Amino acid sequence: MLEIAEAAEEEIRHLAKVQGELWTDLPTDLYIPPDALEVILEAFEGPLDLLLWLIRRNNLDVLNINMTALTKQYMTYVDVMQRKRLELAAEYLVMAAMLIEIKSRMLLPRKEVADTGEEHDPRAELVRRLLEYEQMKLAARNLDGVPQLGRDFQAVSVFVSQLAAKRLPLVGSEDLLDAWRAILKRASMTKHHRIGRQELSVREHMSRILKHLQTSGRSLFTELFDPAEGRSSLVVAFLALLELVRERLVDIVQNEPFAPIHAQMAAPVDQPDAV
Amino acid sequence: MQSKAMARKPTSAEQAEATQLGEIKRILETVLLASAGPMTLTDLKRVFEVELSNDFLRRALDELRADWQGRGVELVQLAEGWRFQTKADYQRYLDRLNPEKPPRYSRATLETLAVIAYRQPVTRGDVEEIRGVAVNTQIVRTLEERGWIEVVGHKEVPGRPALFSTTRQFLSDLGLRALSELPPLPEMAKNLQVSALFQEPLPTE
């Protein structure tokens, strides 16, 4: 019990400052500098806490309270609270009323409880409450002493990215390839036959044919065409050949019916023996 | 060592079991370390292909706990299951990693928590009755947000006030397995029979 009182005093000692100086020695009498009192009262968790402190401070046994002294002390505090215009919680006034009631009851002759023959002590309820509160107050202190996660120890967890992050699908190069193949396949199925304007240049083919004939001088007609290039390309190549003939750059010759047709560079103008 | 081996050769079945136990301990260790929170026996059982008995699993866990003794990290059993945690002795070193001190709860908050922990389930009114002051809503919210208390029902009295209890997380966070492991309530004068207790003679006038 003494230990509790010491702990309470300790608490107040930390809180009470008078004119900037820590106020460490509690006077034995009731006088407390008003400045300190203000701080002290804020440190209490309500009237029960204040009462307990008063009792412990005066080294009184809770079970054996002198009601007169206690009420007088308590009322002094309430009085100071009012004078200092501290926000006086209703609970303090209720307690004051209760103390005065108990005190007045103690002055009156008590009637005996009929069945037990015991005297009813008006202090009993107050004592019960004080003890219960004190028990919880100590329990709270003990509870706070229990090592706590985050304060006194930490949960250990190895960082495992699989658990820490949302799991995302794994993608390998094979998967990419498969996907690409699938796209191609799907594209080929939905492909429309498209007729586009092929950019085929007659001039380009003319150049090609001329270059070919310049190196070889003379060429089989069929050698001038590459079937692999497709029909439209062949048509353009043929157009190019006709154009070359029209421009008298190339001559097409056939020595006899059904003989292979040849193309050759046009002969100079003074030898007009072309077809 | 030699003489021991000579005295009794372990059977192949025993050896197989020993290697199996070692592997299971390693699996448990890995899973518990990788887990973000405490794991129950049921959680742990799920990771094994074969069905393990609770007894066997407990034995493996007990051995694993023993293996970790003498380290800064320990394996503990809590209300919510098994978890690796740092030892309190080394907290001050960890504190230097993060100089920001965790805020302490006010006396009002701690007292409210104590009443709920030791007298649960209780209403706010019960807490107020014991503490002699109104319970600030913020205090209840603080404890709820911490995950330490929860509403477990309503008292069938006018107003149907909520009944509060502490959670399993509260126990785990305090490193406990059950409410019975809470620090015992301080012994107060048990006998409140008034006549026996008051030595002071009552005024007779």
Domain assignment of residue B157, given as a range? 107-181
Q: Which one of B197, B199, B205 makes the best mutation probe of the A interface by having the most chain A beta carbons within 10 Å? A: B197
Cβ contacts (< 8 Å) between B143 and chain A: which residues? none
Q: Is residue B36 part of a domain?
A: yes
d(CA A120, CA A117): 9
- Kindly state whether A10 is in contact with chain B, defined as any CB-CB distance less than 8 angstroms: no
pLDDT in tens, B85-120: 999 999 889 888 887 877 888 889 999 999 999 998
For residue B165, give Cα distances in angstroms to A219, B90, B171.
105, 32, 12
Cβ contacts (< 8 Å) between B202 and chain A: which residues? 106, 110, 119, 121
d(CA A24, CA A212): 116
CB A244 within 8 A of CB A250: yes
> Taking CB atoms and an 8 Å limit, are B132 and A95 in contact across chains?
yes
- Judge if B87 and B111 occupy the same domain: no
pLDDT in tens, A243-272: 888 888 888 888 887 788 888 888 765 555
CATH architecture under which domain A202-265 falls: Orthogonal Bundle (1.10)
Hey, what amino acid is at A269? V
The ranges of chain A annotated as CATH 1.10.10.580 are 202-265
- Judge if B56 and B119 occupy the same domain: no
Cβ contacts (< 8 Å) between A44 and chain B: which residues? none
- Judge if B74 and B139 occupy the same domain: no
> Taking CB atoms and an 8 Å limit, are B175 and A95 in contact across chains?
no
- For chain B, the maximum distance between any two Cα atoms, rounded to a whole number of angstroms, is 92
Share of chain A above pLDDT 70, in %: 68
Tell which residue, A246, A247, A196, A252, has the closest CA to residue A224: A252
- Judge if B87 and B17 occupy the same domain: yes
- Judge if B122 and B59 occupy the same domain: no
> Taking CB atoms and an 8 Å limit, are A155 and B83 in contact across chains?
yes
> Taking CB atoms and an 8 Å limit, are A156 and B185 in contact across chains?
no
- Residue B74 phi/psi, 5-degree rounding, is -130, 155
Q: Which of A51-55, B3-7, B130-134 has the lowest mean pLDDT?
A: B3-7
- Judge if B85 and B111 occupy the same domain: no
Instruction: Give A88 or B153, the one with higher predicted confidence.
Output: B153
Q: Which of A12-16, A75-79, A144-148, B198-202 has the lowest mean pLDDT?
A: B198-202
* Number of compact structural domains in chain B: 2
pLDDT band at residue B203 under the 50/70/90 scheme = very low
DSSP assigned state of B90: G
For residue B158, what are its two tokens? 């006018």
pLDDT band at residue A139 under the 50/70/90 scheme = very high
- Judge if B84 and B135 occupy the same domain: no
Rank A6-15, A72-81, A135-144 by mean pLDDT and report only the highest: A135-144
- Kindly state whether B114 is in contact with chain A, defined as any CB-CB distance less than 8 angstroms: yes
- Residue B30 is predicted with a pLDDT of 93
Q: Is residue B26 part of a domain?
A: yes
The stretch B115-143 carries a mean pLDDT of 91
Instruction: Give A200 or B102, the one with higher predicted confidence.
Output: B102
Angle at B78 between CA B76 and CA B83, to 5 degrees: 45
d(CA A37, CA A55): 17
- Judge if B48 and B73 occupy the same domain: yes
| pTM for this prediction | 0.60
> Taking CB atoms and an 8 Å limit, are B183 and A110 in contact across chains?
no
Q: Which one of B65, B188, B199 makes the best mutation probe of the A interface by having the most chain A beta carbons within 10 Å? A: B188
- Residue A270 is predicted with a pLDDT of 56
Three-state SS letters, A59-95: CCCHHHCCHHHHHHHHHHHHHHHHHCCCCCCHHHHHH
- Residue A18 is predicted with a pLDDT of 47
> Taking CB atoms and an 8 Å limit, are A141 and B33 in contact across chains?
no
Task: Read off the CATH number of the domain in which B160 is found.
Answer: 1.10.10.10
Handedness of CA B61, B65, B68, B71 (dihedral sign): positive
Q: Does the pLDDT at position B124 exceed 80?
A: yes
SS3 A119: strand
- Judge if B26 and B82 occupy the same domain: yes
Smallest CA–CA distance, residue B130 to chain A, in Å, is 6
Tell which residue, B204, B189, B111, B124, has the closest CA to residue A124: B189
SS3 A263: strand
Smallest CA–CA distance, residue A160 to chain B, in Å, is 6
For residue B137, what are its two tokens? 């809503």
Q: Is residue B1 part of a domain?
A: no
- Judge if B20 and B87 occupy the same domain: yes
CB B38 within 8 A of CB A156: no
pLDDT in tens, A221-245: 888 888 887 787 888 888 888 888 8
When the pLDDT of each residue in chain A is averaged and rounded to a whole number, the result is 74
- Judge if B18 and B87 occupy the same domain: yes
| Interface predicted TM-score (ipTM) | 0.72
- Judge if B174 and B111 occupy the same domain: yes
CA distance between the termini of chain A = 137
